[in-house]
Amino acid sequence: MNIQEFDMMLNQSFSFKEQMNQKGVLLCYEGDISQKIIEDIGRIIKHNIEVNANPILMRRLFGIFIEQAQNILHYSTDEKFDEYDNEDLKKAVAILGKNGNDKYYMITGNLVTKSQQKNLSLLLEEIKKLSRKELMDLYVRKVKTGSIVKGKGGGVGLLEIARFASEPLEYTINDIDDNFSYFIMKAVIKGRN
């Protein structure tokens, strides 16, 4: 890349940043997911000046990010999916932002295999039907009977996210090809209870 091309790209990235600011985006990450990267982004979320001023909000946003990022990490390293050998399974997008005065959101996007897609939508549809009380009861039951073997939490991570969120989780799944889909999930958290 020569310096003129670089200058043009820089201008484009500034205008993209401007658009993100208008949408209330506080943090945007696109790239590989590893435990180390999860810890680094987690630290950035905790130390975001605005989020840090509200400890309850900070811990919920942090918790939602950790659960979803580790879900992505576990699925991408699950031996079952080795046949696909797709490096893109280890990549994700995470956006932390603010809607209006008092609502924050965490959006994550990642590639999933068709079998993961099926599990995810079954679980999310099941969670949707639960009242707050039923959600808590199911979470407690799953935690008390769960296995600590890696990636065998039986969906307890998604229940944790739903329990931290102030509104029902929203998600979309878009077909990419015969093997893969793109999964986007949004969790909304109120700044005040």
Partner 1 sequence: MENLILKSTESTPLIDFNLTNNLLRIKGESYPENPAEFYLPILEWLENYLKQLSQPSTIEFLIEYLNSSSCIAFIRLMELFDKYFQDGKNLTINWYYHPENEMSLEYGQLFQSDLKIPFNIKEV
Q: Which residues bind partner 1 (CB under 8 A)?
A: 35, 38-39, 42-43, 55-56, 59-60, 62-63, 66-67, 70, 73, 140, 143-144, 146-150, 153, 156-157, 159-160
- Helices 55-77 + 156-164 axis angle, to 10: 160
In angstroms, give the least distance from the CB of 135 to partner 1: 13
**Closer residue to partner 1 (CB): 43 or 128:** 43
**Closer residue to partner 1 (CB): 138 or 180:** 138
In angstroms, give the least distance from the CB of 37 to partner 1: 11
**Closer residue to partner 1 (CB): 129 or 144:** 144
Kindly give, in sequence order, each residue whose CB lies less than 8 Å from that of residue 61, ignoring residues fewer than 6 positions away: 45, 51, 96, 104, 106, 189
In angstroms, give the least distance from the CB of 70 to partner 1: 7
**Closer residue to partner 1 (CB): 66 or 92:** 66
Long-range contacts of 72-78 (CB under 8 A, 24+ apart): 72/33, 72/108, 72/110, 73/33, 73/34, 73/35, 73/38, 74/150, 74/151, 75/112, 75/113, 75/116, 75/151, 76/33, 77/151, 78/151
CA 38 to chain centre: 11
Instruction: Count Cβ atoms below 10 Å from residue 177 Cβ, excluding itself.
Output: 7
In angstroms, give the least distance from the CB of 85 to partner 1: 21
Task: Determine phi and psi for 133, rounding to 5 degrees.
Answer: -65, -45
**Closer residue to partner 1 (CB): 118 or 150:** 150
18 residue type, one letter: E
In angstroms, give the least distance from the CB of 123 to partner 1: 13
